[in-house]
Amino acid sequence: MMCSIALCNAADKPQFIDVVIDKHFTPYLLSNPLLMEVTGAKVIREKKGRTILFSVASTVLKDDSAKERLRAEKVCRIKALAGMVAEKNGVQVWHVETLNEKTKVVIDEKGETGTSISELLQVTRTKVEGITKDMPVIGHWRSKDGEVFYVAIGVILDDTGEPIELDE
């Protein structure tokens, strides 16, 4: 069962609109709105032995059309799954810097002049690769201005690491 909330109120914290979160995950997400804003996988271990595992992803909405909303949900779902894989397997990062310097010296009847041009190219790539079990969508919401769409996927695991069947 999903719980629908019009607005998440908290002074000096991120606020959201169109918040719909599964009732089993509401206490975790709404107790700390930063968990809703910062993308990536989150692991919460309870004293009872349960583990709350969820991943949040976001994308900028281009417009308010149904087609754009569908695109955003698909993109966020894939990003959220990638967040789970990154949490489990890590992220490979490559960073390359290339510096090209050119100097041009001109000698003529007016004297000697020089021009130096430096061109720096920095490329950073990240790669996440692996396999994870699919997880249901546990919520979605938008930023206060409505421009950023968020999706969260997740599960609750028992003390042996097996998913718990959640009641409706």
Domain extents for the chain?
2-91+130-157
* Rounded (10°) CA dihedral 45, 134, 7, 14: 60
pLDDT tens for the chain, 168 residues: list them.
Answer: 444 444 444 444 568 999 999 999 999 998 888 899 999 999 999 888 899 999 999 999 999 899 999 999 999 999 999 998 988 888 888 889 998 999 888 888 888 888 889 898 899 988 888 888 889 999 999 999 999 999 999 999 988 888 888 776
Q: Please count the helices (runs of H) and the strands (runs of E) in the chain.
A: 3, 8
- The confidence score (pLDDT) of residue 13 equals 57
Nearest to 44 by CA among 29, 66, 23: 29
* Rounded (10°) CA dihedral 45, 72, 6, 27: 0
pTM: 0.73
Cα angle 55, 50, 135 (rounded to 5 degrees) comes to: 35
Distance of CA 9 to the CA centre of its chain: 22
Nearest to 30 by CA among 167, 152, 156: 152
